[in-house]
């Protein structure tokens, strides 16, 4: 998500605009006279939004590359190294499709044993895809969930969130992105209904002080972020259409509300599912930290998958990776709150997850910022804005 076009690249916005519905930033007018059929919503439980109910504040650095993810193979230090990193804010969303693109490069070496460096969203998923292809996989990682950066993600389907800059959105790239998005989406639908709801669909509510066909005013502070491409039109049919609600159809203290559907990950459950499946199918994990690719020489495996995310900047000297700071906080779980919401123009996102109500807050200088120190005041302010939405 970027401040200048709030949610333009986020999953919530993508789920609002399919099939001609209004975009959250006002780029497309609503479909005149059209009111899609929805079941009548159940009364919404109010969020108990108080700072004393904050139970966790996490900060991660999204690994954004202007040219998009690096998914390619090279020979170095006697090893075949398959790179799979740099997915910006789309790591979880594109993980299965990204691993599917990397798999032929892994198989080309004709080795049965594979090393995966990194145990985050991309590392775990690539390991699972390699296992499904009949390979033996060992993960080498300094940290594992929930300590990895991707465990602090927002946890929503956001396949085009900071995936590349507008200048790099070539036809070849967009086709590759679409293949990753569709492949990942298909796998996620197969995970619905499992114990613990690792993946679930929720209703969401987009709130706005201004009509949805009216653009937001420019931010008071320029964020210096690049322009990102609008890719969602290529997969628009994957999302249900959103619906404008009348004032008596919602409890929020704002004049304009849209209801949409959004796919959400309960990351604690989902990460454990991936990890348990990895071990059940013979996977091994070894705690190890690497400071230079030369250290790969000591590994028994001849094929190494580099899934280190932001860590690839230091490990491989990839200065193209731009850190984008992201802070999330969790409120005490409320099982009766099973919806997401976004307050347009107020830097507020709430995601209903089993492990707690996640509240995302964006700082003034997140782009290019690698500081992972939590800012409690930032999250408390977001919780305060959330409280004001309920009468």
pLDDT in tens, 214-235: 998 876 666 678 999 999 999 9
**Could you tell me which residues come within 8 angstroms of residue 315 by beta carbon, excluding any fewer than 6 positions away?**
290, 291, 292, 293, 306, 308
Helix (H) or strand (E) holding 117: strand 113-117
Say what the pLDDT of residue 17 is.
Answer: 38
Q: Dmax over Cα atoms in the chain, in whole Å?
A: 67
Q: Name the H helices within the chain.
A: 11-14, 91-107, 121-132, 171-189, 267-280, 312-315, 376-387
Say what the pLDDT of residue 297 is.
Answer: 96
The two structure tokens encoding residue 336: 């009766």
Q: Which residues of 356-376 are buried (b: 16+ CB within 10 A; e: fewer)?
A: bbbbbbbbeebbebeeeeebe
- Report yes or no: 292 and 101 within 8 Å, Cβ to Cβ: no
Confidence class for position 30, pLDDT limits 50, 70, 90? very low
- The rounded distance, in Å, linking the Cα atoms of 226 and 129 is 33
Crossing angle of helices 91-107 and 171-189, rounded to 10°: 100
Say what the pLDDT of residue 287 is.
Answer: 97
Crossing angle of helices 267-280 and 121-132, rounded to 10°: 40
Summarize pLDDT for 174-216 with one digit per residue, the tens: 999 999 999 999 999 999 999 999 999 999 999 999 999 999 8
Instruction: Write the secondary structure of 317-349 as one string of H (helix), E (strand) and C (coil).
Output: CCCCCEEEEEEEEEECCCCCCCEEEEECCCCEE
Per-residue CA distances from 182 to 31, 43, 93, 179, 263 (Å): 26, 34, 10, 5, 14
Judged on CB neighbours under 10 Å (0-12, 13-18, 19+), 87 is buried
- The rounded distance, in Å, linking the Cα atoms of 46 and 358 is 15
Q: What percent of the chain has pLDDT over 90?
A: 83
Q: What's the CATH number for 64-153+268-315?
A: 3.40.50.720
**Cis, bond preceding 146 (omega within 30 deg of 0):** yes
Rounded to the nearest 5°, which phi and psi values hold at 268?
A: -65, -45
- Report yes or no: 307 and 139 within 8 Å, Cβ to Cβ: no
Summarize pLDDT for 259-291 with one digit per residue, the tens: 999 999 999 999 999 999 999 999 999 999 999
Residues of the chain with CATH 3.40.50.720: 64-153+268-315
- The rounded distance, in Å, linking the Cα atoms of 212 and 309 is 36
pTM here is 0.89
- DSSP code, position 314: H
pLDDT at 9 over 50: no
Say what the pLDDT of residue 16 is.
Answer: 43
Say what the pLDDT of residue 3 is.
Answer: 40
| Ramachandran class of 386: left when φ > 0, alpha when ψ lies in -120 to 50, beta otherwise | alpha
Confidence class for position 52, pLDDT limits 50, 70, 90? very high
Torsion angle in degrees (nearest 10) through CA of 369, 371, 376, 377: -40
pLDDT at 32 over 50: no
Sheet with 79-85, edge to edge strand ranges: 70-76, 79-85, 303-306, 113-117, 136-141, 284-287
Per-residue CA distances from 138 to 97, 133, 223, 273, 274 (Å): 21, 14, 41, 17, 14
- The rounded distance, in Å, linking the Cα atoms of 148 and 146 is 6
Q: Rounded to an integer, what is the distance from CA 356 to the centroid of its chain?
A: 17
Residues 313-319: contacts with CB under 8 Å, at least 24 apart: 313/63, 315/290, 315/291, 316/83, 318/65, 318/70, 318/86
Beta partners for residue 72, in sequence order: 83
**Could you tell me which residues come within 8 angstroms of residue 25 by beta carbon, excluding any fewer than 6 positions away?**
5, 6, 7, 8, 13, 215, 216, 344
């Amino acid at each position: 998500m970027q401040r200048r076009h709030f949610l333009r690249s986020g999953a919530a916005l993508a789920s609002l605009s399919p099939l001609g519905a209004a975009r959250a930033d006002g780029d497309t007018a609503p479909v005149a006279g059209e009111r899609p059929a929805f079941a009548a919503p159940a009364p919404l439980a109010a969020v108990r939004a108080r700072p004393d109910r904050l139970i966790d504040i996490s900060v991660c650095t999204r690994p954004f590359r202007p040219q998009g993810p690096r998914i390619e193979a090279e020979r170095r230090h006697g090893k075949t190294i398959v790179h799979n990193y740099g997915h910006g804010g789309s790591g979880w969303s594109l993980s299965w499709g990204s691993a599917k693109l990397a798999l032929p490069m892994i198989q080309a070496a004709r080795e049965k044993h594979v090393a995966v460096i990194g145990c985050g969203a991309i590392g775990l998923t690539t390991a699972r895809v390699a296992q499904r292809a009949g390979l033996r996989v060992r993960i080498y990682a300094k940290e594992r969930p929930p300590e990895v950066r991707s465990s602090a993600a927002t946890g929503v389907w956001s396949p085009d969130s900071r995936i590349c800059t507008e200048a790099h959105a070539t036809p070849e790239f967009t086709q590759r992105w679409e293949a990753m998005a569709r492949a990942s989406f298909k796998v996620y639908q197969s995970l619905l209904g499992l114990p613990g709801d690792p993946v679930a669909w929720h209703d969401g509510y987009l709130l706005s002080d201004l009509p949805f066909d009216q653009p937001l005013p420019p931010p008071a502070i320029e964020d210096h972020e690049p322009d990102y491409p609008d890719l969602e039109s290529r997969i628009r049919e994957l999302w249900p259409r959103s619906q404008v609600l009348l004032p008596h159809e919602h409890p929020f203290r704002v004049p304009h509300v849209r209801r949409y559907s959004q796919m959400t990950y309960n990351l604690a459950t989902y990460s454990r599912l991936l990890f348990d499946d990895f071990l059940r199918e013979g996977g091994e994990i070894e705690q190890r930290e690497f400071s230079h690719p030369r250290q790969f020489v000591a590994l028994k495996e001849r094929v190494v998958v580099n899934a280190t995310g932001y860590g690839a900047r230091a490990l491989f000297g990839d200065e193209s990776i731009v850190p984008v700071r992201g802070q999330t906080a969790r409120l005490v779980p409320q099982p009766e709150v099973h919806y997401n919401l976004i307050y347009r123009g107020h830097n507020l996102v709430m995601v209903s997850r089993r492990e707690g109500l996640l509240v995302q807050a964006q700082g003034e200088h997140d782009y290019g910022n690698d500081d992972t120190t939590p800012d409690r005041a930032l999250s408390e302010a977001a919780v305060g804005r959330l409280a004001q939405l309920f009468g």
